[in-house]
Amino acid sequence: MATRTNDTEKTNGQPGHQPKEDVEAAVSLTPGPVPPPPNGGSKAWLQVLGSWMMMFNTWGTIITFGDYQAYYERGSLFNESSANISWIGSIQSLMVFIIGAVIGPIYDRGYLKLLLLVGTFGLVFGHMMLSLCTEYWQVVLAQGFVVGIGGGCIFVPALAVVQPYFNSRLGLALGVVATGSSLGGIIYPIVFINLIDKVGFAWTTRIIGFIALGTLLIPILVSEMRAKPPAIRKVLDFSAFKDGPFMLCILGCFLGYAGSHVSFFYIAYFGQANGWMTGNLALYLLPMLNSASAVGRVLPNWLADKIGPVNVVIPVVNAGGIICTALFFGFLSGIFVATPPLLFMVLTRDKTKLGARMGMAYALVGLSVLPGGPGAGAVLQHEGDNLDWSAAWTYAGVLPLSAFLVLCGLRLWLKGFNHMAKV
């Protein structure tokens, strides 16, 4: 009887009772089962805010390289070919994906704050060192490697922190997070455009670094793992190579990313080189693209919760390769940032392998920056200094068109000719 009395006291809020918030905190400190995702609430949406800031600085800086490319093409800092210049942005993008693929086990051990601190340092320090650069190889090290590695340290946490807080609304939450990259691709280029002629390259780059520092303090303060995984994820899952639909999805995303990077890197230079826009007006093409892209990253993910991510990605990937204007391309290409995480989650049946598979997928998809950046630069300057924009934009259109065909094949593999199936 005494034992039953004590149990009753504990459930009625007496000293032995542990409030719900404390239970949640206790659960988050140790591996094991966790309560169902809350799908909302202040704490869950604070994680979305923190991840939004991470994406603001990872993909935001990747996309902003398009304006750096246009500036470097002027020869004010150094003289290199378009293909060589695009290697800087390609290395930066590649580092984000490659480093992001191998830090999964570190995140799983609960070192979220350490990753955020290291990533913040890399992004800020890289920009400060970039402001001192005067030669090509120095820019490759500072902007390509240091900024890229810093971004890679916070890329995985940006996606992983949110997932345990949502299930039925996960697509919407990830879509909101993905808009951070679009806003980064709007704000950072506008800062660059408005300051480059007033304070010069060095101080413009330092100010971008200070903005990164200020915005990354938010996830350092609010981001919190809901629970440690029951087991440390593996870096590689070799069974993925035998999973036909999963590998077909990676191929489709690879081709789509490659096509997107051509426009991200070259659209500003396109307006500048043709003399259609005076002064720095051509540099505004990139923030225009990302303004539309912000909408294109939320709506498709919201729709994916209703009809499935594969059904959403197919029509968008085709149109993105055909419509080569900044606004339409921006709206339609936003899916390549927002939807791939959902695709990889849906196509991974054994969720204990999700971390390893997402890491592998992003590492392979990250290689797409090589044909997307330097590859397009080589096509653009195929005869010395002569620019062949028709060849470059045809190249940019063929890549996502190929992705469209691959993803159509994926849908047929999964559901056959059942056009109404959610997949």
Residue 372 pLDDT more than 50? yes
pLDDT at 33: 60
The answer to whether the Cα torsion of 227, 230, 232, 237 is positive or negative is negative
Residue 49 pLDDT more than 80? yes
Instruction: Give the CA diameter of the chain.
Output: 92
Q: Using one digit for the tens of pLDDT, what is the confidence trace for 125-171?
A: 999 999 999 999 999 999 999 999 999 999 888 888 888 898 877 77
For residues 281 and 291, what is the distance between their CA atoms, to the nearest angstrom? Answer: 16
Residue 353 pLDDT more than 70? yes
Q: Using one digit for the tens of pLDDT, what is the confidence trace for 279-337?
A: 566 666 667 666 655 555 555 555 555 556 555 555 544 433 333 455 555 555 556 66
pLDDT at 6: 44
Residue 267 pLDDT more than 80? no
pLDDT at 323: 37
Three-class DSSP category at 383: strand
Three-class DSSP category at 135: coil
Across 8-12, 148-152, 240-244, 266-270, least confident range: 8-12
For residues 375 and 117, what is the distance between their CA atoms, to the nearest angstrom? Answer: 34
Query: In which band, very low, low, confident or very high, does the pLDDT at 1 lie, cut at 50, 70 and 90?
Result: very low
- If 0-12 CB within 10 Å is exposed, 13-18 middle and 19+ buried, where does residue 132 land? exposed
Query: In which band, very low, low, confident or very high, does the pLDDT at 25 lie, cut at 50, 70 and 90?
Result: very low
- Report the candidate in 172, 175, 196, 359 with the shortest Cα–Cα distance to residue 268: 196
For residues 312 and 302, what is the distance between their CA atoms, to the nearest angstrom? Answer: 10
- If 0-12 CB within 10 Å is exposed, 13-18 middle and 19+ buried, where does residue 412 land? exposed
Residue 374 pLDDT more than 60? yes
Residue 10 pLDDT more than 50? no
Whether 94 contacts 366, CB under 8 Å: yes
- Report the candidate in 119, 142, 123 with the shortest Cα–Cα distance to residue 131: 142
Which has more confidence, 208 or 398? 208
pLDDT at 289: 66
Domains and CATH numbers, the chain: 47-415 (1.20.1250.20)
For residues 127 and 122, what is the distance between their CA atoms, to the nearest angstrom? Answer: 8
- Report the candidate in 186, 194, 197 with the shortest Cα–Cα distance to residue 74: 197
pLDDT at 54: 96
pLDDT at 279: 54
- If 0-12 CB within 10 Å is exposed, 13-18 middle and 19+ buried, where does residue 384 land? exposed
For residues 374 and 103, what is the distance between their CA atoms, to the nearest angstrom? Answer: 27
Residue 167: CB atoms within 10 A of its CB come to 12
For residues 354 and 360, what is the distance between their CA atoms, to the nearest angstrom? Answer: 10
Strand partners, 386: 383
Which two structure tokens, joined as six digits, stand for 420?
A: 């109404």
Per-residue CA distances from 77 to 31, 130, 237 (Å):
51, 11, 44
Model-level pTM greater than 0.75? no
Q: Using one digit for the tens of pLDDT, what is the confidence trace for 167-207?
A: 877 777 877 888 888 788 889 988 998 899 899 999 999 99
pLDDT at 118: 96
Q: Using one digit for the tens of pLDDT, what is the confidence trace for 55-97?
A: 999 988 988 888 898 899 888 899 998 888 989 988 998 899 8
Q: For residue 62, how far is the Cα from the chain centroid? A: 9
Residues present in the chain in total = 423
**Mean of all residue pLDDT scores within the chain:** 77
What DSSP state is assigned to residue 74?
A: T
Which two structure tokens, joined as six digits, stand for 211?
A: 């903005």
Q: Angle CA(268)–CA(274)–CA(277) in degrees, nearest 5?
A: 65
pLDDT at 280: 63
Query: In which band, very low, low, confident or very high, does the pLDDT at 383 lie, cut at 50, 70 and 90?
Result: low
What DSSP state is assigned to residue 387?
A: -
pLDDT at 310: 56
For residues 312 and 364, what is the distance between their CA atoms, to the nearest angstrom? Answer: 22
